[in-house]
A and B are shown apart, each in its own frame.
Chain A
Amino acid sequence: MNRFWLIAVAGALLGAPAWATGEDTITVGMTVSRTGSLNVDSVAQLRGAELWRDEVNAAGGIKAGNKRYRVRFVTYDDQSQGGRVQQLYTRLIVQDKAQFLFSPYSSGLTATAAVITEQYGRIMLIGGGAEAKTYELGNKYLFQCITPADYYLAGAIQALKEKNPHAQVALVYSDDPFSKAVVAAARTQAAAAGFKVVLDESYPPTTTDFSAIINKIISSRADAFLGGGHYPDGATLARQLHDQKAALKWVTILVAPDSPQFTTLGAAAVGITVPSQWEPQVQYKPDFGPTPEQFARLFESHAKVEVDYHAASGYVVGLLLQRAIEQAGSIDPDKVAAALEKIDVTTFFGRDKFATDANRHGLQLAHQMVLAQWQVRGGKLAKEVVWPDAAKTANVLYPLQDGATTASVLNPLH
């Protein structure tokens, strides 16, 4: 008899945590590129998501119906490679019993993960994959929270048109899926804006030296540059455009200039514009959740690093999930998916609304990019929002000043 009770109690105690976990905890799974080339942005995104989790738990959890759920994350390292993503997402769903998934960072990894999440009927919210193709293949549970790649350069083109309606544009971009998608759309947008595209070329992503390409840009007599790719190439392009005095009046480079590290380029950074999903200075009035300023302050005191749009997209993904669960009153995937499909809200991140037609389900319809530019403020480099008018904090600097002028205005950096 005694032994029986002992075993029963032991069993209950051992089983209790699992029992308790299933009752009032939501498990959210994702892979993070802790190693490999995507590491910097992926970890920033994770930090944003973790901030959301900590905020939600501190407030008592997500309210669904008359239950409150705490949020628990399970993350694995995908090494910035597609090979393990499917194995890890399967593990997250089957072993770790994740009820909701967040995407990895980058469109390619997201596409691979989507095969698994769709198979198991789990919702995946995407904060780090801008390519639109993934949503055109027929899905029910994908929800993209950031602006799709097709609109990345739309703002830059509009802003340029205001300054120079007859710009001669050089489109020079990295041969990778994301940049190609961005420029494919930009080509049409530039033509519609009345620009002349005088150079249109892609370069291998591993290119280390752009001098020959820049000479080609100079030969084409372009006065505006749109393009780039990811980190190293974007930064190298910016530096070499400056070193070679390419005499461009307008330079928009994707991704790289948005990083706070871009300041290490010194004078070469001045005037470079970059499309951004979000900047701390935006003036959106949120329907719920923190204001842009509150979020930026919270993040920087929490994570001890400067905030950027990757962190913001990590946070908003959680925020939207929370909202949908609260609206649905339950954590059942189909009910939450229905709630997500009805969402049309403005948060600190901007407006979000998902496409619901079957041939592009989950594509983000409402969110807009802003255009940021590096300018000199008080002898130091600062990133200002220059477009759209509703969000801007400074006027756009046009034309780009040449190296000599800006170097004299800029205090020595070290």
Chain B
Amino acid sequence: MIGLLASIVDGVLVGSVYGLAAMGITLIWGVMNVINLTHGTMIVCGMFGLYFLVNAAGVPAYATLAPILVIGFLVGVALYWIAVHRMIGQPPLMSLLSTFSVNLVLIGLGTALWGTVLFNVPVSLPGLSLGRYTFPGTHLMAAALTAVIAGALYLFLHRTRMGKAVRAVAANREAAELVGIPTTRVLALAFGLGVALACVSGMLIATLFPFTVLAGDAYQLKSFVVTVLGGLGNPTGALIAGIALGLLEGLATPFMPVSWTLVIEFVLFVAVLITFPGGLLSVRRARRVE
């Protein structure tokens, strides 16, 4: 019984990190209808950011959050101008391809420089025990920081002028332009923000697990699943969906062979897509409008 409880808590903790990872994609997708295929690689950038700042500059692990956020934002804005700006307004396939090609270049450089060598940042914090089970302090810290970041994002989007501009552009770009919002700047900002979120989630993930240059792929796939479950363009939904996914993994594992969890995840994913095309959380929202 306690084992089940432990799994549930673990699921929630890790799931929140999945949610954070997905927030970047869902924001970008929602605002500018662009599927950012460099997302996984940006997560890896965040991981490397942690590694280098801690090892080369001796920065304490969690203090790297702010610099990584800023650098991620700048990289995101740069990426926007290089690959995405010309694709706005075109079919989503084009932006998909342009981000995909940038991703190829980055992965190529990464593997040429570092191969698939393993990196690890040994971070440890005192954790909580529940009988024979332990919740590592790092997991608790990661979940806490995720909540803080998600909260900050929510406040930004709903309480600041710039945030409202972002939401306006997401709702209707042409109308936003008509009322005088500098849409290009807003798009660049939103993209930068999405990438910054990816980098920060990478940094948090690197405090928990070892990584390689290719580690981003698995997280990118999970991010897609979470984004769909939570509803496109809905960062809070992404967080909740991420937690739900983690919960699912935690709940399923004690009861069935672990190798079946992936099958369940993806079957669920397709099933949700078919029955709730707008995402699980938009169902409620739609009803409220009616």
Q: Are A and B in direct contact (Cβ within 8 Å)?
A: yes
Q: Is the CB of A265 within 8 A of B210?
A: yes
Q: Is the CB of B120 within 8 A of A39?
A: no
Q: Is the CB of B132 within 8 A of A264?
A: no
Q: Is the CB of B259 within 8 A of A243?
A: no
Q: Hey, which chain A residues are within 8 Å of B112, CB to CB? A: 35
Q: Is the CB of A37 within 8 A of B134?
A: no
> Counting CB contacts under 8 A, is B172 at the interface?
no
> Counting CB contacts under 8 A, is A23 at the interface?
no
Q: Hey, which chain A residues are within 8 Å of B117, CB to CB? A: 40, 261
Contact of A243 among B11, B136, B221 (CB under 8 A): B136
Q: A204-B262, A239-B209, A240-B209 are in contact. Are A216 and B3 (CB under 8 A)?
A: yes
Interface residues of A in 206-222 (CB under 8 A from B): 206-209, 211-213, 215-216, 218-219
> Counting CB contacts under 8 A, is B6 at the interface?
yes
Q: Is the CB of B134 within 8 A of A243?
A: yes
Q: Hey, which chain A residues are within 8 Å of B10, CB to CB? A: 211-212, 215
Contact of B118 among A43, A240, A261 (CB under 8 A): A261
Q: Hey, which chain A residues are within 8 Å of B121, CB to CB? A: 264
> Counting CB contacts under 8 A, is B241 at the interface?
no
> Counting CB contacts under 8 A, is B282 at the interface?
no
Q: Hey, which chain B residues are within 8 Å of A235, CB to CB? A: 118, 120, 210
Q: Is the CB of B120 within 8 A of A209?
A: no
The secondary structure that dominates the A interface is helix
List 5 A-B pairs, minimum CB-CB distance, nearest first.
A212-B253, A266-B122, A219-B3, A264-B120, A243-B136
Residues of A that sit less than 8 Å from B by CB? 35-40, 43, 172, 175, 201-204, 206-209, 211-213, 215-216, 218-219, 231-232, 235-236, 239-240, 243-245, 247, 256, 259, 261-262, 264-268, 403, 407, 413-414
29 A-B pairs whose Cβ atoms sit less than 8 Å apart in the complex? A35-B108, A36-B111, A38-B116, A201-B257, A201-B259, A204-B258, A204-B259, A204-B262, A207-B258, A208-B215, A209-B14, A209-B209, A209-B249, A211-B7, A211-B250, A212-B11, A215-B10, A218-B3, A232-B212, A239-B120, A239-B122, A240-B136, A244-B135, A259-B118, A261-B119, A262-B118, A403-B124, A413-B122, A414-B55
Residues of B that sit less than 8 Å from A by CB? 3, 6-7, 10-11, 13-14, 54-55, 58, 108, 111-112, 115-122, 124, 127, 129, 132-136, 138-139, 205, 208-212, 214-215, 217-219, 221-222, 249-250, 253-254, 257-259, 261-262
